[in-house]
Amino acid sequence: MASNSALLSFRTPPPSGSYAQICFPTPQVLLVIFNRPKSLNCINIPSHWELHALFEWYDSEPSLRAAVVTGTGRAFCAGADLKEWDIQNSSGDRGVSRRDMPASGFGALSRRAGKKPVIAAVNGLAYGGGMEMCTNLDLVIASKSATFALPEVKRGVVAIAGALPRIVRTIGRQRAMEMALTGRTVSAMEAQSWGLVNAVVEDASADSDIMDRPVTAKALEYANMIASNSPDAVIVSREGIKMGWEGVGAEEGSRLLMEIWWKRLSEGENMKEGVRAFVEKRNPDWLGSKL
């Protein structure tokens, strides 16, 4: 479900879907709301593809510069729909194709490379696939009562959607082993001390609207800070950090940024506009990125 999109001008309309609600708190920011609260926002197979289409659209839409994801109810996302898995196992269907996710991974986020930043507003529990998504997102904001876990080992399965090789780069070998091998729950404050969470905010009241939650407000604050910058510079800066995180050496990453990305950046209008606005002592008027 999309709300207030009629007030905005997009090159193509957002894709439709039943799992997530979307809205646009400001013209340049997409808010994605996981909306299966009775199932703790578990994600079933069709919903991975729905979300993949949505984030592909987000990356291709020039007017959008940052995105925030959050969940309805008391969960951010409790992971995979194990009832769906149980039905498949009971029917004898263990074919990989039935469980395949898009290349972008769980919820289209756990292995997403993407072009533009996505911020998690973790309003409650983030378990399994929910945690795997957080591991690969650009910023993570959490409510004080939010919790994180990789409990797959307790169910005889494995966190195979991308978190295991990624989380070790964020929190270190021993902490990553602790989460993956024990399956224990980690609090928001502990996750922040480990470097997994950027900021922890107060919990919302029980009857708060999603837009009134402190965690949503803080995530949108970050999103709007990002959206106020050059969209070209944000994309290239994010690319440079990703290269280092994914194991490209510092010198090789610098070479790639200079040889591939700097040329594209300097030929664009936004770099010229940023310099011109500084000289003229005014706020820049950014154009939608063509990168």
The answer on pLDDT for 83 being more than 70 is: no
Give the closest residue to 110 by CA, choosing from 152, 72, 143, 173. Answer: 152
- Please give the residue that has the higher pLDDT: either 95 or 257: 257
Per-residue pLDDT, 220: 98
Per-residue pLDDT, 82: 65
Mean pLDDT of the chain: 90
The answer on pLDDT for 223 being more than 80 is: yes
| Residues designated catalytic | 132, 152
Q: Phi and psi of 102, rounded to 5°?
A: -65, 170
**Residues in Cβ contact with 268 at an 8 Å cutoff, skipping those fewer than 6 apart:** 232, 289, 290, 291
Per-residue pLDDT, 90: 52
Residues 87-142 have pLDDT tens digits of 555 545 554 444 578 999 999 999 999 999 999 999 999 999 999 999 999 999 99
Average pLDDT of the residues in 2-19: 76
Q: What is the pTM of this model?
A: 0.91
- Please give the residue that has the higher pLDDT: either 61 or 291: 61
**pLDDT tier at 207, thresholds 50, 70, 90:** confident
Per-residue pLDDT, 5: 52
Per-residue pLDDT, 84: 63
Residues 35-60 have pLDDT tens digits of 999 999 999 999 999 999 999 999 99
**pLDDT tier at 250, thresholds 50, 70, 90:** confident
Average pLDDT of the residues in 204-208: 83
Domains within the chain, CATH numbers bracketed: 5-227 (3.90.226.10), 231-279 (no CATH)
Average pLDDT of the residues in 62-88: 85
Average pLDDT of the residues in 63-83: 92
Per-residue pLDDT, 88: 53
For 38-94, list the strands marked E by DSSP.
66-71, 75-77
Give the closest residue to 234 by CA, choosing from 266, 278, 269, 265. Answer: 265
- Burial of residue 39 (CB within 10 Å: 0-12, 13-18, 19+) is middle
Average pLDDT of the residues in 284-288: 90
**pLDDT tier at 86, thresholds 50, 70, 90:** very low
CB 232 within 8 A of CB 273: no
